[in-house]
Amino acid sequence: MCNTWVEIDLKILSDNISLLKRSTVPGVEIIFVVKANAYGHGMAVVAEHAFKNGVKWFAVAHAEEAVRLHKCLPEAKIIVLGGVTPNEVLEFMGKNIFPVIIGVEHARSLADKALSRGSILECHAKIDTGMGRLGFGWETAAQAICQLDGELGLKITGIYSHFASACSGKTFATIQAARFFKVIKSCENRGMKLFRHISNSGGISENPAWDMDAVRPGIALYGYSPGSKIQVKRNIKTKPFLQWKTSIVQLKKVPAGFPVSYDGTFITPRETHLATINAGYADGYFRALSNKGSVIINDVKCRIVGRVTMNLSIVDLGPDDIAEEGSEVILLGSSDGQSIWADEIAELCGTIPYEILTSIKTNDRRIKNNN
């Protein structure tokens, strides 16, 4: 049994999917990004439930994720966003798994491997419109893609790009979208019919004109905004459906002037109760939360005091006896009006909610409302 666990409320996920469908242009597909174990939520359970709710497309980062997802959802269509190797595409043959080509030589190496097995590889082409990460340079992409599509072993059926700053840099996002539209138009003028997608969660919030044939929500479907303090055209208010919990290992009543944890960075200002909880930075509970973070115990928000250690952390419960050993502790979640969500924790740690969620380490996932 794990020392921490997560609780997944699938009814909230259903509501998030329904809201996103209502908010996007009718007929637009949802490509649900479930890489990194569905942002720490559990890829299999999240994808299977989303599929029941009408989501047919999914995106992962690596070949191994794609093969694993296909085993539990063989009818789903899966895009592999990372640059796969020729040997990896052999596992995609005969499955609804679509690798992404990121350059001419990469595309030809995948095509050659497919041909060696007597197959045609169906794929999507990634266009670098300004992210600077993976993809064909947008200036020459159309010519290269149209040439590749005519070569043996390769069938390009989709085209996509990725916003670098859909929320915090609207002007640049508009430039990226214009570049992408230009590539698409050039390909279409050469007779190609492509499945087009560019909007991540930020793009979906910013501009309906960017919905195209599909959108690729990630963080939005997990209940968080893609950026903080932003002005958006479509305010899609989804809700988190993951709570992360642990329990109290030991309680102590200590006097004023008591030093807590490594280096004594916290000294109790009064007589109080301390709770040692069963989570530390080895579990994904960031050390940066030392003397800054909070947890919820019996509907009361309580402060983390002293250094967060590898496997344990210490909480100041105050002078009242509000808990007992074994009591549940909410690390991330809500209870009776009190809440601690990943965006709040991220701000304390100087990071983003994506990192908070994907850092959670537990195999104990408890499912609610699975119908």
Catalytically active residues, by annotation:
35, 262
Chain-centroid distance of CA 215 in Å reads 14
d(CA 14, CA 52): 9
Question: What DSSP string describes 223-265?
Answer: T--SSSS---SS-------EEEEEEEEEEEEE-TT-EESGGG-
Tell me how far apart the alpha carbons of residues 242 and 357 are, in angstroms, rounded to a whole number: 9
Please give the structure tokens belonging to residue 215: 């959108």
Measured distance CA(290)–CA(294) in Å, rounded: 9
Written as six digits, the tokens of 174 are: 């508009």
Residue 100 CA to chain centroid, in angstroms? 19
Query: What's the CA gap between 26 and 8, in Å, rounded?
Result: 29
Q: At 124, give phi and psi (nearest 5°).
A: -115, 150
Instruction: Using alpha carbons, select from 145, 266, 251 the residue that is nearest to residue 194.
Output: 145
Strand, helix or coil for residue 312: coil
Distance CA 185, CA 107 (A): 21
